[in-house]
Structure 1
Amino acid sequence: MGLFAFSTTPPRCTCQTEPFDICNPSIDLYDKTARQLAEELKDPELLTEDKKSRQWRVKRDDKANKPTQLRKFYDELCMWEQKARDVESFGKMLPFIKMMNAKVAYARGRELVDDKFVTWFSTCMDQIKDSSEAGLSAFRNFRTHFEAFLGFFKQARPN
């Protein structure tokens, strides 16, 4: 079974949350789960509405999820991690870190990333609840998980 599921009524993509528990990372988060995520995201899928029938469908789009586009989001996470050296600075930057959800949504609107990437990204970001030590730890775990995913993604989708 895959990590993601699509529904056309209502149109949405969902993902399993258990494999992506960044607050309490499993032994597989940076290896098996990151590899499975890379395999699923190498074949981008977008929910689109057929203009004539007004029906939603899932279509493949190889122009989405290009490694360079995903790397930009990872690079931004790294930049925020460098600035958030402690809980106090993390708390000041957390609103801007959370704004990355909007940037990912914008990229989806331009069909640069697919619905699975948006769902995974927001699922992980939603687990960063506050500017506590636990929140900072979850953020760092997400950044590390993203790094592992990118390594496997480069292998799964070289160009």
Structure 2
Amino acid sequence: MSDTPFDLRNPSAELYDKNAEQFAGMFRKPESSQLRRFYDELVRLETQARQQPEKWEEIKPLVKMLNAQVAYAHGRQHVDEVFYNAFVELIRQIESLEHLTRCKHFLEATIGFRKLKEAQAKSRR
């Protein structure tokens, strides 16, 4: 089990609120636009799994491949070490469609909080 506060298997009531806000403030990179790329891929895979639940075992490896994609982005310095490590931990927790849906919702909430933080940072300049 995960020892991060972002536990998709046993989510707390704060997963999409305080935990997502905390996660949004943990990393410098990616900006919300880069974060959105990973989120969009999760949405695509989750939609596919919802429409064809019998194909979960074929879709699951594609979900896990997101770790290779975030590793590539990290290697190109598009995401920082903090985001990379946390994202990898999230994806490694996904063992079912329910976990994938929770991860999707968590990243959706994170994007919202990240957008707010970016707007606040711009207004301070």
Task: Give the whole-Å Cα distance in 1 for the aligned partners of 2:115 and 2:46.
Answer: 22
Does residue 70 (structure 1) correspond to residue 56 (structure 2)? The answer is: no
Question: Given residue 90 of structure 1, which amino acid in structure 2 is its aligned partner?
Answer: W
1:74 and 1:147 in contact (8 A); partners too = yes
Matches within 5 A, 1:6-155: 17-41=3-27, 44=28, 64-85=29-50, 86-129=52-95, 135-155=96-116
Q: CA deviation at 1:92?
A: 1.3
> Cα–Cα, structure 1 residues 18 and 40, in superposed 2: closer, same or farther, change >3 Å?
closer
Unpaired runs of 5+ residues, structure 2, are none
TM-score norm. by structure 2 comes to 0.87
Distance across 1 between alignment mates of 2:115 and 2:34: 12
Amino acid at match of 2:39: Y
Give the drift of 1:82. Answer: 0.8
Query: Which whole-Å deviations, capped at 9, do the CAs of 1:26-76 have from their partners, x for residues lacking one?
Result: 0010000101111122xx2xxxxxxxxxxxxxxxxxxx3121111011011
Q: Give distance in 1, aligned partners of 2:17 and 2:67.
A: 24
Q: Which stretches of structure 1, 4 residues or more, deviate above 3 A after TM superposition? A: none
SS at match of 1:17: coil
Paired residues in the alignment total 118
CA distance in 1, matches of 2:118, 2:74: 19
Q: Which amino acid in the other structure matches residue 97 of structure 1?
A: V
Structure 1 unaligned spans of 5+? 1-15, 45-63, 130-134
Deviation at 1:84, TM superposition (A): 0.5
- Does the 8 A contact of 1:17 with 1:123 survive in 2? no
Q: Which has the larger radius of gyration?
A: 1
Matched-pair identity in %: 41
- Which of the two has greater helix per residue? 2
Q: What is the RMSD of the two structures over their aligned residues, measured on CA atoms?
A: 1.5
Structure with a larger share of its residues in strand: 1
TM-score w.r.t. the length of structure 1 is 0.70
Alpha-carbon separation, structure 2, partners of 1:65 and 1:82: 24
